[in-house]
Amino acid sequence: MYGTFHNWEIDWMAKIKVAFIKFGGMANGGTEKYLQTIAAHLPKDEFEVDFFYCDAAPYIGSDFKHLDTDESRVEYTKSHGVNLIKFDVEFKDVTKPTHDWVNTNFFDLFDEDNYDVIQTGRSGHPEYPFIHINKTPIIDSIHLAGMGEDKANVYRTVLISQEQKSKWVQAGGNPQRGVIIPVPVEVPDYDSSSYIEEFGWEGKFVFGMHQRNDMHIFSPMPLDAYEEIQSDDTAFLILGGSANHRKQAKDYQLKNVKFLDTTSDINLIHKFLNTLNVYAHGRSDGEQCSSSIIEGLSHHLPMISHTASSMGQKEQIGDAGEVVEDYLEYSDAMKNLMNNKNYYVVCKLNAEKRYREIYDVPSIISKFVTLYREAANA
């Protein structure tokens, strides 16, 4: 669907060797899929791509559990000509400022002298193993903005939104080194199947969202707002979500609310999105650059979200909907999209345009191709 980059002039040249390095790198999380997608779509006639990853390991000093390896993501990445190299880690020690990997064989398998460019996906502070990679140019993709590291061999720092770049600069990041490249989200060809007939929702106006099972990011606002406008003619569908969503729906005795199990099956994700009339986003801490919102935009869905400590969702949604302050404003936005057909159509058209002009995969990959070429020749 995306086509293939090919430059016949480079066929005689040595390929640029790129190493992707990510703890838990074959999980089905946002940062992981971001790196997998870039690695997969780099033109293999110009780039030789190794992807170093490990399975999730327990944390020392935190009860946080990283997502496990998803075999469908392993197969996806391999099928696009990426060489997967799996290393071992027994623990990740977050009591150390550098988040050290304990009992790892990473440096038995990795030698930076073998690569022209290193690609990271990390939280934005000096951490293992990058503290020990000091010669090869690094393209540093940062998905949190808590610190601006000034490491000599970081060629460019990739931020996924203007919101994130602003926070990163405030934390000490060099604005001349930072570049904004949004999250690439693949939207392969999909059919028009939905859950409408299966759920008996013909004629209903359907709101919905999809989110990982994580109560730390749970926001009650979408379902609080839905309680205000629910009727026999409305429905709300959540793919994934946390136990808090389910408790909220039960406690409020909400009408026509259904839940689907979390899935990495892209066809089921598109079936879910095909069911919706409006994407009703909610996350307690906000977004930097949400893959879920991008997937909703790719289906031309009008959007509603709310304010939070991070406001990347406002940047993403733009003129494709509204970002509100509280659940009453949220319910008003729901009613406006249900009842104002002209406004609904405008938001729908703007959603399609935003996806095409901002989040189109080939244009994002071309930006990484340019960065890698420049870094390899720096």
For every one of its 378 residues, what pLDDT tens digit does the chain have, with 9 covering 90 and above?
Answer: 455 455 545 445 789 999 999 999 999 887 898 999 999 999 999 999 999 999 999 999 999 888 899 999 999 999 999 999 999 999 999 999 899 999 999 999 999 999 999 999 886 678 899 999 999 999 998 766 566 667 889 999 999 888 888 888 888 888 899 999 998 888 877 889 999 999 999 999 999 999 988 999 999 999 999 999 999 999 999 999 999 999 999 999 999 999 999 998 888 999 999 999 999 999 999 998 888 999 999 999 999 999 999 898 999 999 999 999 999 999 999 999 999 999 999 999 999 999 988 988 998 999 999 999 999 998
Burial status of residue 232 (CB atoms within 10 A of its CB: 0-12, 13-18, 19 or more): exposed
Q: Among candidates 26, 82, 94, which has minimal Cα distance to 54?
A: 26
Domains contained in the chain, CATH given: 8-184+360-376 (3.40.50.2000), 196-358 (3.40.50.2000)
The total number of residues shown for the chain amounts to: 378
pLDDT of residue 123: 66
Tokens representing residue 92 in the block? 């990740």
DSSP code, position 125 = S
| DSSP assignment of 236-255 | EEEEE--HHHHHHHHHHT-T
**Phi, psi angles (nearest 5°) of residue 237:** -120, 130
pTM for the predicted model, two decimal places: 0.79
Q: What is the DSSP string of 49-91?
A: EEEEE----PEES----PPPP-HHHHHHHHHTT-EEEE---SE
Helix (H, G, I), strand (E, B) or coil at 196: helix
Predicted pLDDT of residue 124: 67
Structure tokens at 125: 């502070």
pLDDT of residue 363: 86
- Let me know: does 291 contact 355? Beta carbons within 8 Å: no
Reading the block at residue 43, the tokens are 């033109």
Nearest-angstrom CA–CA distance, 290 and 359: 11
Task: Say how far apart CA 312 and CA 168 lie, in whole Å.
Answer: 13
Give the integer Cα–Cα distance in Å for 176 and 179.
Answer: 8
The neighbouring-strand residues paired with 100 are: 93
Rounded (5°) CA angle 147-152-155: 85
Can you name the residues that pair with 248 across neighbouring β-strands?
Answer: none
